[in-house]
Structure 1
Amino acid sequence: MKRITVFTPTFNRAYCLHQVYESLLRQSCQDFIWLVVDDGSTDNTRELVQSWIDERKIEIHYVYQNNLGMHGGYNTAYSMIDTELNVCMDSDDFFTDQAIEKILKHWDEYGNDSYAGLVGLDATLDGKVLGSWFPQDLKSATLEDLYHKYKINGDKKLVYRTAVVKSFPPYPIYPGESFVPLGSLYVQIDKQYELLCLNEILCLVEYMEDGSTRNIFRQYRRHPRGFRYSRVIELQYSGYTIVKIKALIHFIANSLQLKEFNYFGKNKYPILTYLFFPLGLLLYFYIKRKNKLIAKT
């Protein structure tokens, strides 16, 4: 049985999906399964993946579903995976040639059931690490501690034990919305487990800050219930006061957007909700204004 599943949720990305496939062909260790979750694509993704399956160069599993968004793709992947470890590879990114080998070697040396998995580094196409390297003497940490205690920044590559992700509820699916922040699962896992730190570049990404910034405001507008769910989870599970305060302010803004004015009783901090209401109101109008400006460009 293979040790790790690489899963790729994809939607109309046939034009770039070959990058993932080719990087998997180049892996120095082939002890993996590639699971492609086709999230309702209308391009030739199905035919393309089938052609790769027919080549029989690596083990590929393919599943098609109606469009549910990235988090829906994660739900489907987690329900299907039965290898010890799993890692997501976005359809427009790709692995470094020794990524699988490095993951499994590090896990074999240090991993056990007391850890959720491991966390490695992402880099730009020219090999520059996104954000920070890990401290050299840091063996393990929660994802939240990495960002808030150790002041690490930048996207990282997460490899989880399948038994761990299966032990938590799936991401909720809201009718008319197709996005729930993935971190709402990770902050729950952080309450029980740490991640081993692997100070190696595992993934190369095409990183466009401006595009990401513009997109997040559209996401806020289109998926208020998904974002509010994430804020509720952060309020419940985060170990950092600053995270809880930010989550509460966003929770207020999302509730205003939804015109659900009974939100004061829907969290554990009703007094703080009233206290931070002015900031939540300001955020609501700021997001609304940004979306109007973006729409005009």
Structure 2
Amino acid sequence: MLNIVTATLNRCTLLERLYLSLLEQSDLEFKWVVVDDGSSDGTRGFLNAVATAKDRKFEFEYHIHERNRGKHVAINSAISFCKYEYTMIVDSDDLLYPDAVECVKDLINCGVRFCIFPTMQGVPFEYAGTSVSYRQYFKISQDCTRVVPTSEMAKRPFPDCVDEFFLTEAYLWSALHRRNCFHAIGRRVVQVEYQCDGLSSRYKSLVFRNPKGSIKTAIKVILMPTFGLSYFKFVSLHLLLGITGLIYAVFTSKKSANRA
């Protein structure tokens, strides 16, 4: 019924913590799909060990990218190996609460197709108990965990921009919120622990250094029939940094060509 998808890059130690939290799930009927996006640490060896572990009671499958292509491309790859109807993305530095899978499956069994969970401890989820549509998407004050039909993710893969390694997940979530209402749950199922070298801490820099994907995201979001300060901030940030990043990339490329 449930796939748990993880894209990872040089996070072997953190991946082990996530694995232990999966072993402790009260419901072990799920599949963990991991894509190693070109790690150079001990990740591959760890994944091999998980694949042969006798104490693992859930399904597991992993795949290797020989070179780093970006989390979004790794997610695309993972989705192609998902066998169950619903999928949840869990980062390698996250931990699942022991009843996370059970909670998600209870919702699915009650007919909930799209659900959204808060991730910040001690911060009330303002939309708990309501349906979150595209009108509320940019008003959500924290990162969230989402569970969606696998088929919906398969129909909307992230674009793979040449020579770029980052594309915000907002590219996908904004599209899904535009077409579907998400049932907002007040409790957490994932414990998020942001790392100092993680994507979130380098977000603006990544938007600038991956301009084609940033501009694609801004254009996709512009098509959403919504307005508001948060919406304009998001679009402005990605357009401004995307365009300036693209100009900078073209300028430095020409400069390097002239030197050659």
Output the TM-score relative to the length of structure 1: 0.75
Q: Do the aligned partners of 2:207 and 2:241 also contact (CA within 8 Å) in 1?
A: no
Aligned to 1:49: 47
**Distance in 2, Cα, partners of 1:21 & 1:88:** 14
| Amino acid across the alignment from 1:73 | A
Q: Do the aligned partners of 1:144 and 1:187 also contact (CA within 8 Å) in 2?
A: no
**Distance in 1, Cα, partners of 2:205 & 2:179:** 33
Aligned to 2:23: 25
Aligned to 2:124: 132
**Distance in 1, Cα, partners of 2:207 & 2:27:** 40
Pairing partner for 1:121 from 118, 122, 143: 118
Q: Do the aligned partners of 1:9 and 1:90 also contact (CA within 8 Å) in 2?
A: yes
Q: Do the aligned partners of 2:3 and 2:33 also contact (CA within 8 Å) in 1?
A: yes
Output one character per residue of 1:67-126: Cα deviation in whole Å (capped at 9) or x when no partner: 111111111112221211111111111100000000000121132xxx4x2111214xxx
Question: Are 1:201 and 2:202 matched, yes or no?
Answer: no
**Distance in 1, Cα, partners of 2:221 & 2:206:** 18
Question: Are 1:164 and 2:165 matched, yes or no?
Answer: no
**Distance in 2, Cα, partners of 1:249 & 1:20:** 32
Aligned to 2:89: 88
**Distance in 2, Cα, partners of 1:18 & 1:236:** 40
Q: Do the aligned partners of 2:194 and 2:200 also contact (CA within 8 Å) in 1?
A: no
**Distance in 2, Cα, partners of 1:259 & 1:59:** 46
Deviation at 1:137, TM superposition (A): 4.2
Compared CA separation, residues 37 and 249, structure 1 to 2 (3 A) = closer
Q: Do the aligned partners of 1:235 and 1:248 also contact (CA within 8 Å) in 2?
A: no
| Alignment length (residue pairs) | 244
Compared CA separation, residues 246 and 44, structure 1 to 2 (3 A) = closer
Output the TM-score relative to the length of structure 2: 0.85
**Distance in 1, Cα, partners of 2:201 & 2:30:** 35
Matches for 1:212-223 after TM superposition, within 5 Å: 215-223=202-210
Q: Do the aligned partners of 2:80 and 2:154 also contact (CA within 8 Å) in 1?
A: yes
| Amino acid across the alignment from 1:145 | Q
**Distance in 1, Cα, partners of 2:233 & 2:189:** 33
Pairing partner for 1:177 from 155, 164, 175: 164
Aligned to 2:133: 142
Deviation at 1:189, TM superposition (A): 1.3
Deviation at 1:185, TM superposition (A): 1.2
Q: Do the aligned partners of 1:174 and 1:226 also contact (CA within 8 Å) in 2?
A: yes
Deviation at 1:38, TM superposition (A): 0.6
Question: Are 1:225 and 2:242 matched, yes or no?
Answer: no
Deviation at 1:199, TM superposition (A): 1.7
**Distance in 1, Cα, partners of 2:78 & 2:200:** 27
**Distance in 1, Cα, partners of 2:84 & 2:198:** 35
Compared CA separation, residues 232 and 136, structure 1 to 2 (3 A) = closer
Query: Which sections of structure 1, spanning at least 5 residues, go unmatched?
Result: 261-297
**Distance in 1, Cα, partners of 2:204 & 2:137:** 26
**Distance in 1, Cα, partners of 2:190 & 2:96:** 4
Deviation at 1:251, TM superposition (A): 1.6
Deviation at 1:173, TM superposition (A): 1.5
Query: Which sections of structure 2, spanning at least 5 residues, go unmatched?
Result: 249-260
| Amino acid across the alignment from 1:59 | E
Give the superposed CA RMSD.
2.4
SS at match of 1:80: coil
If asked which structure has higher relative contact order (CA below 8 Å, sep 6+), I would say 2
